Amino acid sequence: MALRSRILGCGAYLPSRVVSNAELSTRVDTTDEWIVQRTGIRQRHVAADGELTSDLAVAAARGALAAGGVSADALDLIVLATTTPDHTFPATATKVQAALGMTGGAAFDVQAVCAGFIFALAVADNFLRLGQARKALVIGAETFSRLLDWNDRGTCVLFGDGAGAVLLGAEEAADNKARGILSTHLHTDGRTYDLLYVDGGPSSTGQVGKVRMDGQGVFRHAVGKLAAAVDEALAANGLVASDVDWLVPHQANQRIIDGMARKLGLGPERVVSTVARHANTSAASIPLALAEAAGDGRLKPGQIVLMEGIGGGLAWGSCLARW
Ligand code: ACO
């Protein structure tokens, strides 16, 4: 019998400080109206001084372990998606491993910016399906505020901090109706590297750097690439758009989310959207949205859940799951 990764629990953490659009408009030349109309974002959470990506990740991880009823010593894998590691090395995942009290197995980071959670989920799913791990935590955690140029109104209004986590367990799948991850599909196109990047790094400037973005360029690629990834996922599983119960997209911009929902023919009541309250939390956005919808009972066992995301690289992908 084939192994499948089932999602056993979700966790989330958002820093307590909330920054409204009105507060941002006292720092840069912007308005609440402009931000809401172009993005749907109304506020974002920002980590406190000294609050690190690993702190956010540990809080979300503890939530996922509690929701799944699994203790950290049963874990044999942590895959942490982040663009904002505590340090250039070691992997932030190893700090999380120690904080959770997990002493065996392996923990490492994956970097695919806003698509990072989908990439991390794909890596962990493959470990579980191959029998190389039995219980895995997949975490998306970001202190993206630390990469922002707070004088650039084109980017500083878009992002926020947070973390989300899912606990995966390998289970025998009797047939295709078994719950768990059905497929993951990953893509990158390095020719679009300059559309969205950080202008620093250990090997280039020796400084951390700040986010630089061609917003319209990213927007132009987003819906087309995501739509193709979704078509690919549905076709691989012999499903059609109307089979999807929930779209849980990367939360970058409500207009991109609406474009994807229209393409799938899904009404807003079938789309999990947190972008108004969280803004774009990069790799954390999908697991934060999953944790919210799982926590309030929207996601029900057996439902088809479609996750998709795109970010710097460009990197994009999808995950289709039976909840
Ligand atoms: N407040 C007020 N005005 C602003 C702001 C702001 N915060 N930011 C830009 N503007 C101005 C610009 O300077 C420009 O002014 P000008 O006409 O005088 O030159 C005007 O608004 C229009 O700027 P555009 O960049 O053309 O605005 P657009 O409608 O494209 O919206 C946005 C910008 C929201 C960034 C949009 O392009 C977008 O959402 N792109 C997707 C990018 C994205 O989501 N990135 C996140 C990371 S990647 C991912 O997660 C998918």
Protein residue whose Cα sits closest to atom 22 of ligand 1: 154
Compute the average pLDDT of residues 91-113.
Answer: 97
How confident is residue 175, by pLDDT bands cut at 50, 70 and 90? confident
Give the dihedral sign, CA 97/102/107/110: negative
Same domain, 281 and 152: no
Q: How many CA atoms lie within 13 A of 103 on its CB side?
A: 0
Phi, psi of 131, deg, nearest 5: 80, 15
Measured distance CA(115)–CA(188) in Å, rounded: 10
Same domain, 27 and 69: yes
Average pLDDT of the residues of the chain: 97
Ligand 1 first shell, C-beta below 6 A: 30, 34-35, 38-39, 114, 153-154, 157-158, 196, 213, 215-216, 218-219, 222, 250, 252-253, 280, 310-311
Same domain, 168 and 288: no
Protein residue whose Cα sits closest to atom 15 of ligand 1: 154
Does residue 177 surpass a pLDDT of 90? no
Cβ atoms < 10 Å from Cβ of 49: 4
How many structural domains does the chain have? 2
Residue 82 carries which DSSP code? Answer: -
Same domain, 19 and 150: yes
Measured distance CA(147)–CA(84) in Å, rounded: 8
pLDDT in tens, 194-224: 999 999 999 999 999 999 999 999 999 998 9
Q: Are 180 and 171 in contact (CB under 8 A)?
A: yes
pLDDT in tens, 254-278: 999 999 999 999 999 999 999 999 9
Same domain, 150 and 219: no
Measured distance CA(112)–CA(117) in Å, rounded: 8
Q: Pick from 139, 173, 207: which residue ends a domain?
A: 173
Q: Looking at residue 151, what is its pLDDT?
A: 94
Q: Pick from 173, 205, 232: which residue ends a domain?
A: 173
Protein residue whose Cα sits closest to atom 3 of ligand 1: 30
pLDDT in tens, 41-98: 999 999 999 999 999 999 999 999 999 999 999 999 999 999 999 999 999 999 999 9
What's the one-letter identity of residue 186? L
Measured distance CA(117)–CA(307) in Å, rounded: 10
Greatest Cα pair distance in the chain: 60
Same domain, 33 and 160: yes
Distance (angstroms) between ligand 1 centre and the Cα of 215 equals 6
Same domain, 128 and 205: no
Same domain, 152 and 20: yes
190: CATH: 3.40.47.10
Distance (angstroms) between ligand 1 centre and the Cα of 32 equals 13
Measured at the CA of 256, the angle between CA 192 and CA 218, to 5 degrees, comes to: 15
Same domain, 164 and 184: no
Protein residue whose Cα sits closest to atom 20 of ligand 1: 154
Same domain, 192 and 162: no
Q: What is the pTM of this model?
A: 0.97
Same domain, 279 and 317: yes
Selection from 84, 223, 85 nearest residue 160 by Cα: 84
Q: Pick from 173, 204, 230: which residue ends a domain?
A: 173
Q: Which residues are catalytic?
A: 114, 250, 280
Same domain, 148 and 14: yes
Q: How are beta strands 196-198 and 2-13 bridged, if at all?
A: unpaired
Q: Which of 40-44, 175-179, 237-241, 259-263 has the lowest mean pLDDT?
A: 175-179
Measured distance CA(269)–CA(266) in Å, rounded: 8
Residue 186 carries which DSSP code? Answer: E
Selection from 138, 154, 169 nearest residue 283 by Cα: 138
Does residue 1 surpass a pLDDT of 80? no
Task: Please give the residue range of the domain that contains residue 161.
Answer: 2-173
